[in-house]
Amino acid sequence: MRLPTDEVPAFSAPTMVEGFARVVAVEGGVAWLEPEQTSSCGSCASSSVCGAKGIGTAASRLAARRFRLDNHAGLVVGERVVVGIRENTLVKASLTAYAIPLAAMLGAGAVAQWAAGSDGITMAAMVAGLLPGLGIARLSAGLLSSRGDLSPRFLRRANVGVVCKIS
Amino acid sequence: MKEYVLLIVGAALVNNVILARFLGLCSFMGVTTRIDTAIGMGMATTFVITVSSMADWAVEAYLLEPFGLGYLRTVTFILVIAAAVQFTEMTVKKVSPALFQMLGIYLPLITTNCAVLGVALLLVAGRMSFIASTLFAFASSIGYTLVMVIFAGLRERLALANVPRLFAGPPIGFIVASLLALAFMGFSGMSTN
């Protein structure tokens, strides 16, 4: 058994968040892919031999998350590829989808509580505050999307036998 | 104002939902391999806990308590949480399909997160006002996100560390989690009730 040493490599996070996806259709120069649901383990390549199957493995859910890529690499149906999104994209997406509406909702509630001090009015104000929050989130998501920040990119073909790690 | 600040500090740090109340441990161990995914899960959970707690407070105040239906509280809250998750999923999908593709994976996991139900039951037991219960739920979920992100950062570094083979993987993860819990016990000296 090796004992721990001080030879720890310098810490650096990868610049892309990678994930596996399978090509389900090719239409002209566009390939449609379905992501493998590795976070709940149930749909990854090792699911048939793995006992750690989780929830959310329904095929319909995967079909709903189908996305398209420009097929410059000549992908064919059934091929397994590695796709990636930029680092911090997930954080930006989370802030856009959740933090903006939540901040608008809590802000409206705080103002209503300060002005009226009634539970009913505060509740109504928070529901009303959620709507402009969702509108701002929609605009922000459109901005991110137009810059291409939310689209996965093709990185490489997955090697045969590469499966998700269950640690 | 001071009572609200104490409520927030108490819910987020002193009585942290993961490290003091031991709720949401499944996602704590399962979705903390990367900081990005921990933030994604944390933000989604924050939104769902806050929205579902508001709805739970309304159901408790206007339906369960006036009609003496307290024995239906748990099952009703589970229904409200499932509805809140479904509402969130539909909203994100409507706001931006691209965002839904990226973040939708976390939402089904939240339905079965016991922290969401735990926070709702705690705020009912505390007999708080609407604004206090909303702040309590929001602060609890911020505490949840904070611990998720800290633990994900530690695990990212652990992945690069030279850990003895016997402790590699989940064992060293549990040891680090226990050390983090010990660190958070330091907040218990703060008088926030």
Nearest to B160 among A11, A91, A97 (CB): A11
pLDDT digits (tens, 9 = 90+) for B147-177: 999 999 999 898 888 888 888 888 898 999 9
Q: Is A19 helix (H, G, I), strand (E, B) or coil?
A: strand
**Residue A84: beta bridge partners?**
A18, A153
| CB proximity under 8 Å: B 133-162 to A | 134, 138, 156-157, 160-162
**Residue A17: beta bridge partners?**
A85
* DSSP-assigned states of every residue in A89-156: HHHHHHIIIIIHHHHHHHHHHHHHHHHT--HHHHHHHHHHHHHHHHHHHHHHHHHHHHTTTTS-EEEE
**Residue A85: beta bridge partners?**
A17
Q: Tell whether B8 is covered by a domain.
A: no
Select from B29, B43, B62 the residue whose CB has the most chain A CBs within 10 Å, as the one to mutate to test that interface: B43
Q: Is A49 helix (H, G, I), strand (E, B) or coil?
A: helix
Nearest to B162 among A5, A35, A151 (CB): A5
Q: Which residues of A touch B103 (CB under 8 A)?
A: 90, 93-94, 97
Q: Tell whether B193 is covered by a domain.
A: no
**Residue A20: beta bridge partners?**
A82
Tokens of B27: 């996602």
pLDDT for the residue B55? 93
In which domain, by residue range, is B82 found?
Answer: 20-187
- Which amino acid, residue A161? G
| CB proximity under 8 Å: A 35-64 to B | 35, 37, 39-40, 55-56, 61, 64
How far is A89 from A66, CA to CA, in rounded Å? 18
Domains in chain B, number: 1
CB neighbourhood size of A126 (10 A): 24
Tell me which chain A residue has its CA closest to the CA of residue B106: A39
pLDDT for the residue A37? 60
The pLDDT-based confidence of B141 (bands split at 50, 70, 90) is very high
Tell me which chain A residue has its CA closest to the CA of residue B88: A98
Tell me which chain B residue has its CA closest to the CA of residue A142: B96
In the block, residue with structure tokens 């402009």:
A132
Contact predicate B106/B29, CB 8 Å: no
CA A12, B145, B1, A132 dihedral sign is positive
pLDDT digits (tens, 9 = 90+) for B48-91: 999 999 999 999 999 998 998 889 999 999 999 999 988 888 88
**Is some CB atom of chain B closer than 8 A to the CB atom of A105?**
yes
CB neighbourhood size of B125 (10 A): 8
Structural domains in chain A, CATH included, are 16-86+151-157 (2.40.50), 91-146 (no CATH)
Which one is predicted more confidently, B102 or A128? A128
